[in-house]
């Protein structure tokens, strides 16, 4: 690359660069804008390199020459057109388009600093019909109104023949593919109309509970019909665990271990996993209604030994029993269980019951090491620590915390 420093000039709104060679002053390259765009010659020559632009862009460049006539408006934009610190590029492009309606999509993309293909899907860059412009003037968008709320309000006032789906996309900013999955734009079948007449939604019932109740009574309903009746979108219906299709194995597990009335979703998922270890996370999520992400964080779904699974099935939990007492009862029935296995069975943290005596029993190997280490006792903690570290090197079945006396661990560790 040549060591000739370069200066850049541009004419707006396309921010085109004109490369001019200047005398060499230093070995660093720098880019500086001209003081005024009016003083820059439009016939300035450019080198034949990859900075050349196609001639088709030159015609489009002439469309918005009157929008941003000076360099100050481009490099030092007014306060109303500057990009905010927390504003992303798409939102900034939408705001620029609202301020300059005649600005083309390619020009807006160059000002914002994105590619034009990243803006073509935005409805604001499409023209509104006469009915869409009238709806925008009669029903402007509220400041705290979301995209879907604005679409629902427009659809309730302007039916389909008056306001098309494309006009709604341009007004609200929702993509057409996403909008056609909303309940307001779905049509009901004959079976769905029969379901509406048979089962009415109560006043204190949520849309999710209503959809689950409809599915239990009318298992043959389509997802589109269920979305139109309940008011949930197709995406929300797909993410509802109770509405997923169960495998024959999961159906047999639900019949063998039904959910009790006073049992929450997480406790039921833990109990049915212990009773049927072959169930997957998605099957347990569909049976209990718990989100799969929350189930993956539970220790019972990470992995348990056969002894822990057997202990969880043999020792059921008493209604109203706290976590600590349940853990102590499981430990008393199966003394070989570790603290992590007890925590997985109970569904709590190890810190809940770690202070009880039955969970602080030292390993037999550690007791043997302490007896051999007591032949040369030392009152200094550093000497005890060095002795424990030395013994740990030759004993792989115990750790330093098992070798040190309990008083030393409490006071120093």
Residue-wise pLDDT tens digits, 99-123:
777 777 777 777 777 776 577 667 6
Say if CB 348 and CB 333 are below 8 A apart.
no
Question: Above 80 in pLDDT, residue 315?
Answer: yes
For the segment 204-253, what is each residue's pLDDT rounded down to a tens digit? 888 888 888 888 787 777 777 787 777 777 777 776 767 777 788 888 88
Task: Say what the alpha-carbon torsion angle 9, 11, 16, 21 is, to the nearest 10 degrees.
Answer: -20
Question: Above 70 in pLDDT, residue 365?
Answer: no
Question: Above 70 in pLDDT, residue 374?
Answer: no
Secondary structure (3-state) at 395: coil
Question: What's the confidence (pLDDT) of residue 45?
Answer: 37
Q: Which residues contact 9 (CB under 8 A, 6 or more apart)?
A: 17, 18, 20, 33, 34, 37, 40, 44
Question: What's the confidence (pLDDT) of residue 84?
Answer: 76
Nearest-angstrom CA–CA distance, 262 and 258:
12
Question: Above 80 in pLDDT, residue 257?
Answer: yes
pTM (2 decimals)? 0.34
Question: What's the confidence (pLDDT) of residue 229?
Answer: 78
Please report, for residues 80, 251, 265, 370, 382, the alpha-carbon distance to residue 247 in angstroms, rounded to integers and kept in the order given. 57, 6, 19, 55, 60
For the segment 74-97, what is each residue's pLDDT rounded down to a tens digit? 434 455 667 777 788 888 888 877
Nearest-angstrom CA–CA distance, 357 and 232:
52
Nearest-angstrom CA–CA distance, 408 and 92:
62
Confidence class for position 272, pLDDT limits 50, 70, 90: confident
Say if CB 192 and CB 228 are below 8 A apart.
yes
Question: What's the confidence (pLDDT) of residue 19?
Answer: 41
Question: Above 60 in pLDDT, residue 270?
Answer: yes
Between vectors from CA 279 to CA 276 and to CA 280, what angle results, nearest 5°? 155
For the segment 9-58, what is each residue's pLDDT rounded down to a tens digit? 444 444 444 444 444 344 333 333 434 333 333 333 333 333 343 444 44
Average pLDDT, the chain: 68
The residue among 287, 178, 184 whose CA lies nearest residue 241 is: 287
Choose between 366 and 240: higher pLDDT.
240
82 φ, ψ to 5°? -75, 145
Query: Rounded mean pLDDT of 375-398?
Result: 59
Q: Residue 18: in which H helix or E strand, if any?
A: strand 18-21
Tell me the torsion sign for CA atoms 340, 342, 346, 349. negative
Query: Rounded mean pLDDT of 397-412?
Result: 53
Q: Residue 19: in which H helix or E strand, if any?
A: strand 18-21
Question: What's the confidence (pLDDT) of residue 275?
Answer: 83
Say if CB 285 and CB 291 are below 8 A apart.
yes
For the segment 170-185, what is each residue's pLDDT rounded down to a tens digit? 777 777 667 766 766 6
215-233 burial, b if ≥16 CB within 10 A, otherwise e? Answer: beebeebebbbbbbbbbbb
Question: Above 50 in pLDDT, residue 308?
Answer: yes
For the segment 327-363, what is each residue's pLDDT rounded down to a tens digit? 888 888 888 888 878 887 887 777 788 777 777 665 4
């Amino acid at each position: 690359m040549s060591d000739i420093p370069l200066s850049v000039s541009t004419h707006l709104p396309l921010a085109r660069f004109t490369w001019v060679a200047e005398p060499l002053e230093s070995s660093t390259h720098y880019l500086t804008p001209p003081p005024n765009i009016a003083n820059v010659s439009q016939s300035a020559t450019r080198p034949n390199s990859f900075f050349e632009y196609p001639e088709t862009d030159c015609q489009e460049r002439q469309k918005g020459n009157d929008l941003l006539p000076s360099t100050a408006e481009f490099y030092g934009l007014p306060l109303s057109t500057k990009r905010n610190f927390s504003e992303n590029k798409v939102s900034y492009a939408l705001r620029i388009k609202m301020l300059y309606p005649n600005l083309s999509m390619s020009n807006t993309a160059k000002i914002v600093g994105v590619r034009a293909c990243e803006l073509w899907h935005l409805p604001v860059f499409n023209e509104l019909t006469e009915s869409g412009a009238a709806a925008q003037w009669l029903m402007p968008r509220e400041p705290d109104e979301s995209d879907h709320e604005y679409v629902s309000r427009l659809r309730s006032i302007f039916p389909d023949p008056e306001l098309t789906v494309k006009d709604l996309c341009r007004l609200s900013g929702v993509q057409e593919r996403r909008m056609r999955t909303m309940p307001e734009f779905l049509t009901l079948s004959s079976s769905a109309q029969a379901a509406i007449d048979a089962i009415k939604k109560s006043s204190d019932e949520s849309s999710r509970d209503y959809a689950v109740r409809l599915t239990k009574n009318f298992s043959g309903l389509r997802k589109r019909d269920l979305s139109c009746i309940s008011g949930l979108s197709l995406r929300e219906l797909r993410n509802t665990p109770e509405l997923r299709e169960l495998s024959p194995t999961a159906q047999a597990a639900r019949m063998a271990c039904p959910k009790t009335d006073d049992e929450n979703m997480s406790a039921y998922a833990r109990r049915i996993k212990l009773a049927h270890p072959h169930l997957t996370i998605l099957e347990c999520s569909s049976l209990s209604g718990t989100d799969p992400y929350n189930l993956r964080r539970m220790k019972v779904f990470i992995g348990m030994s056969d002894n822990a699974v057997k202990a969880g099935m043999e020792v059921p939990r008493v209604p109203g029993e706290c976590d600590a007492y349940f853990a102590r009862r499981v430990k008393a029935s199966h003394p070989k269980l570790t603290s992590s296995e007890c925590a997985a069975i109970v569904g709590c943290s190890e810190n809940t019951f770690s202070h009880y005596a039955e969970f602080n029993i030292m390993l037999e190997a550690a007791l043997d090491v302490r007896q051999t280490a007591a032949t040369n006792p030392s009152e200094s903690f550093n000497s005890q620590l060095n002795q424990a570290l030395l013994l740990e090197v030759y004993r792989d079945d115990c750790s330093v915390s098992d070798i040190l006396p309990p008083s030393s661990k409490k006071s120093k560790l």
